[in-house]
Amino acid sequence: MPTDDLPEAKTLPARRPLRQRASLVWLVPVTALAIALGLALQTYLARGPLIEIIFDEASGVAAGSTELRFRDVTVGKVEALEFEPGLEKVAVHVRLDKAIAPYVDEDAVFWVVKPEVTTTGVSGLDTVLSGVFIAGVWDTEPGETKLRHEGQPKAPLLPPGRDGLLLTLQAANGVALTANSPITYKGLEVGMVGTPELSRDRLSAIAPAVIYAPYDRLVQSTTRFWDTSGFSFSIGAGGAELDFSSLSSLIAGGISFDTVISGGVGVRDRAAFQVFASQSEARQNVFDAGRGTGVPFTVIFEENVSGLEAGAPVEVRGLRIGEVTGITGIVDPLRFGDGRVRLQVSLELRPGELGLTPVDDPTREVEDFIAQRVEEGMRARLVSTGLLSTGLKLELVDLETVDRATLDRANSPYPLIPTTESQISDASASAQGMLTRVADLPIEELMQSAVRFLDNASGLAAQTSSLVQDGEVRAIPGDVRALLGDMRGVVGAPEVQGLPAQAATLMEELNGTVSDLRGLVAQVEEARAVEKLVNAVEAAGSAAEAAEASITGVPGLIDSLTATADTARALPLEELVNRVSAIVADAETLLEQPGTRALPETLNGALEEVRLSLTELREGGSVTALNETLASAQSAAAAIEQATTELPQISDRIQRLLSQASSTLAGYDQGSEINRSARAAMTALSRAASAVESLARALERRPNSIILGR
């Protein structure tokens, strides 16, 4: 609506003070700014330190999104990834939560958790969807935050903050250590095997392992570990048996342990144990000090000989002080100056066997001891385990005259014990020589000659038996028996039985008579014979008659003389003398007869021969067929002997007997040819038998003599 009256002069109102002019709306940006600044300040103040974790590779780690987790709680975030100088490693920069930072000190361990599918199971499955994360563990003691850490490729066996016992397991032959395989104790899973790796001497596989608390107290120095993986199949009387510990151990492998004997002591951390192939093997080795407790050494032999095996004993004067743990060849032209293959032996010596009781550092103490012994001349050498065995063992010997040498402690992998000349070449040479000698033994010839000899012997035996079968020979015993029968009849006759007594009395009488006779004869001879006496007597008679005739005065004397003469005549002196002289003549003739005189010798010789043959026959007792004969012959011989002793005295009877005997003996003498040949055969046979017997005895006594050749 237009109007004519103009509005009042337009005047600007007076400037109001700023407080009135300023709009309240300014509070809005001020507040916003304050909030922003407050947030920024709060964020800055709440920001933890930035730590660096060095990994070999950062697979899946992404800046800005990958988290650092502790007990599955996010405590940090990766802010940046960068290479270390040289591009060999990756540094992951992680912003830690401020509250956690003090705990991330020296002992913190980091690793990247990735999804893993192994035989023991699937792990890190959550990371499939969420992506990998970095896991960290540290103890609950706050300390100074360490800003640079080395990342581990995988989770530690025994993370800080968890109690347990770390062990080193060493695989025996035929045992495969599998990473992450469980360690069970009576079926309970009480530990885990870490990633296996080669031992320092590259001869066996070792793996770290952990036994978690509270089961770590189960492990003692006498504890034995064994492999429970795989299965065993056996067929016995009880049927077929398939044995395996569990399906998981069948697939993933597993290790079990037990302490079968008491008396063990607790083990220190990182103690070494051997894993045996089976429980039985582990139990067999329960008294063994175990491989792990030994102190390792190396020996390098100039020669590379076969025969030494892992497990071979290491001995000092026959006392086992350790064992060989591994053998390998070594070629090192730089070190030895040539390209020859040398034998590198790793061995372990047990302090206990050496008589040492190490206090805290067994390795150093045993090395000191060995070093001192080496200075004194101890050397290692290879010796054969047996004379004929090809197996070798390692011996530490003290040598008097030896060049100075020391224990090379700087040697890799273990201290090097100097060596001396081995004794295997001698042993093998002697063994070889012995075998050669055995091979050279004329066994076949010997056997052939033995066979020949036995053939001869059997032929001889056959001959002998045919001889024995021979009627003539057979007749001999008959003859002898008949002769003996006769003899026995003669001897058995009462007269003969009485003969000795009679003969004795006779002999006494004869002796007396003979002595009388002799005295008489001597007297007679003194008195110029009987004839002279008779003549004297007759002369006396005639003288007497003459005297009678002449001397009548002495008729009485004559009468008495006559009487005396008559008496003397009446004496059976003449008859006696006749008889005596007859006897004497007979005896003389008998005795004068050369045959008679030779008889005892002949008889004796014959008897001797009989006896000899009998003895020989008896000795050669193998011929049983002649036993009976021998017995009778023996009795016959006894009878003959008896008869022979009586023979000289029974002259009359023996005359007849003698003829009979001589005829028999003649026959016997004839037979003695056969006898001799038989005897020779017997002798030969008995000699042969004794030879065989002595051979047999010799073999029996020293059976190895045929091998040894002596």
Which of the ranges 122-130, 425-433, 484-492, 645-653 carries the binding residues for other proteins, by CB under 8 A? 122-130
The residue type at 74:
T
**Contact (CB, 8 A) for 686 and 616:** yes
Binding mask 584-613 for other proteins (x = CB under 8 A): ------------------------------
The yes or no reply on residue 233 touching other proteins (CB under 8 A) is no
Footprint of other proteins on residues 341-400 (CB under 8 A)?
Answer: none
Q: Which is nearer to other proteins, 95 or 393 (CB)?
A: 95
- Burial pattern 72-88, b for ≥16 Cβ within 10 A else e, equals eeebbbbeebeeeeeee
Q: Closest distance between other proteins and the C-beta of residue 16, in Å?
A: 9
Footprint of other proteins on residues 421-450 (CB under 8 A)?
Answer: none
Q: How far is CA 527 from each of CA 512, 530, 532, 560, 575, rounded to the nearest angstrom? A: 21, 7, 7, 21, 19
Beta bridge partners of residue 382, listed in sequence order: 394
Q: Are strands 109-113 and 90-97 parallel, antiparallel or unpaired?
A: unpaired
Strands (E), 502-631: none
Q: Closest distance between other proteins and the C-beta of residue 218, in Å?
A: 42
C-alpha–C-alpha distance, residues 111 and 137, integer Å: 9
C-alpha–C-alpha distance, residues 178 and 175, integer Å: 10
Q: Closest distance between other proteins and the C-beta of residue 129, in Å?
A: 3
Q: Which two tokens stand for residue 35?
A: 């909030």
The yes or no reply on residue 115 touching other proteins (CB under 8 A) is no
Given 36, 585, 631, 666, the residue binding other proteins (CB under 8 A): 36
The yes or no reply on residue 128 touching other proteins (CB under 8 A) is yes
Q: How far is CA 480 from each of CA 104, 294, 476, 629, rounded to the nearest angstrom? A: 126, 90, 6, 10
DSSP conformation letters of 297-354:
EEEEESS--S---TT-EEEETTEEEEEEEEEEEE--HHHHSS---EEEEEEEE-TTTT
The yes or no reply on residue 22 touching other proteins (CB under 8 A) is yes
Q: Which two tokens stand for residue 688?
A: 């042969």
Q: Closest distance between other proteins and the C-beta of residue 154, in Å?
A: 22
The runs of H, that is alpha helices, within 86-189 are 126-130
The yes or no reply on residue 23 touching other proteins (CB under 8 A) is yes
Q: Which is nearer to other proteins, 22 or 46 (CB)?
A: 22
Which of the ranges 23-31, 242-250, 296-304, 397-405 carries the binding residues for other proteins, by CB under 8 A? 23-31
282 contact partners, CB below 8 Å, separation of at least 6: 224, 225, 226, 258, 276
Task: Output helix, strand, coil percentages for the chain, rounded to the nearest 5.
Answer: 45, 20, 30
**Contact (CB, 8 A) for 266 and 194:** no
Q: How many chain residues are in contact with other proteins, going by CB under 8 A?
A: 18
The yes or no reply on residue 404 touching other proteins (CB under 8 A) is no
Which of the ranges 124-132, 352-360, 441-449, 699-707 carries the binding residues for other proteins, by CB under 8 A? 124-132
Q: Closest distance between other proteins and the C-beta of residue 4, in Å?
A: 14
C-alpha–C-alpha distance, residues 195 and 180, integer Å: 7
Angle at 239 between CA 233 and CA 241, to 5 degrees: 25
154 contact partners, CB below 8 Å, separation of at least 6: 111, 195
Q: Which is nearer to other proteins, 133 or 138 (CB)?
A: 133
Given 15, 19, 26, 265, the residue binding other proteins (CB under 8 A): 26
Which of the ranges 100-108, 128-136, 194-202, 234-242 carries the binding residues for other proteins, by CB under 8 A? 128-136
What's CA 466's distance to the chain center, in Å?
A: 54
Beta bridge partners of residue 515, listed in sequence order: none
Q: Which is nearer to other proteins, 29 or 236 (CB)?
A: 29
**Best CA proximity match to 596, nearest among 671, 650, 530, 648:** 648
Q: Closest distance between other proteins and the C-beta of residue 91, in Å?
A: 23
The yes or no reply on residue 130 touching other proteins (CB under 8 A) is yes
Which of the ranges 19-27, 261-269, 402-410, 480-488 carries the binding residues for other proteins, by CB under 8 A? 19-27
Q: Which is nearer to other proteins, 4 or 243 (CB)?
A: 4
**Contact (CB, 8 A) for 530 and 524:** yes
**Contact (CB, 8 A) for 63 and 81:** yes
Q: Which is nearer to other proteins, 32 or 46 (CB)?
A: 32
Q: Which is nearer to other proteins, 77 or 224 (CB)?
A: 77
Give SS3 for 145: coil
**Best CA proximity match to 226, nearest among 290, 164, 293, 146:** 290
Which of the ranges 24-32, 180-188, 455-463, 602-610 carries the binding residues for other proteins, by CB under 8 A? 24-32
Q: Which is nearer to other proteins, 63 or 461 (CB)?
A: 63
607 contact partners, CB below 8 Å, separation of at least 6: 637, 640, 641, 644
Q: Which is nearer to other proteins, 64 or 339 (CB)?
A: 64
Q: Closest distance between other proteins and the C-beta of residue 20, in Å?
A: 10
C-alpha–C-alpha distance, residues 555 and 24, integer Å: 233
Given 9, 45, 129, 240, the residue binding other proteins (CB under 8 A): 129
Footprint of other proteins on residues 54-113 (CB under 8 A)?
Answer: 64-65
Footprint of other proteins on residues 531-550 (CB under 8 A)?
Answer: none
The yes or no reply on residue 1 touching other proteins (CB under 8 A) is yes
Q: How many CA atoms lie within 13 A of 708 on its CB side?
A: 7
Which of the ranges 127-135, 234-242, 364-372, 539-547 carries the binding residues for other proteins, by CB under 8 A? 127-135
Given 15, 19, 21, 71, the residue binding other proteins (CB under 8 A): 21
Given 29, 187, 238, 318, the residue binding other proteins (CB under 8 A): 29
Beta bridge partners of residue 233, listed in sequence order: 242
Q: Which is nearer to other proteins, 127 or 428 (CB)?
A: 127
Which of the ranges 125-133, 236-244, 380-388, 510-518 carries the binding residues for other proteins, by CB under 8 A? 125-133
Q: In this structure, what DSSP letter does residue 220 have? A: B
Q: Which is nearer to other proteins, 132 or 457 (CB)?
A: 132
Q: Which is nearer to other proteins, 22 or 504 (CB)?
A: 22
Given 9, 25, 242, 501, the residue binding other proteins (CB under 8 A): 25
Q: Closest distance between other proteins and the C-beta of residue 27, in Å?
A: 8
Which of the ranges 20-28, 89-97, 434-442, 653-661 carries the binding residues for other proteins, by CB under 8 A? 20-28
**Contact (CB, 8 A) for 93 and 52:** yes
Q: Which is nearer to other proteins, 77 or 350 (CB)?
A: 77
**Contact (CB, 8 A) for 382 and 396:** no
The yes or no reply on residue 505 touching other proteins (CB under 8 A) is no
Give SS3 for 84: coil
Give SS3 for 239: strand
Q: Which is nearer to other proteins, 21 or 710 (CB)?
A: 21
The residue type at 155:
A
Q: Which is nearer to other proteins, 64 or 355 (CB)?
A: 64
The yes or no reply on residue 18 touching other proteins (CB under 8 A) is no
The yes or no reply on residue 333 touching other proteins (CB under 8 A) is no
Positions in the binding site for other proteins (CB under 8 A): 1, 7, 21-23, 25-26, 28-29, 32-33, 36, 64-65, 128-131
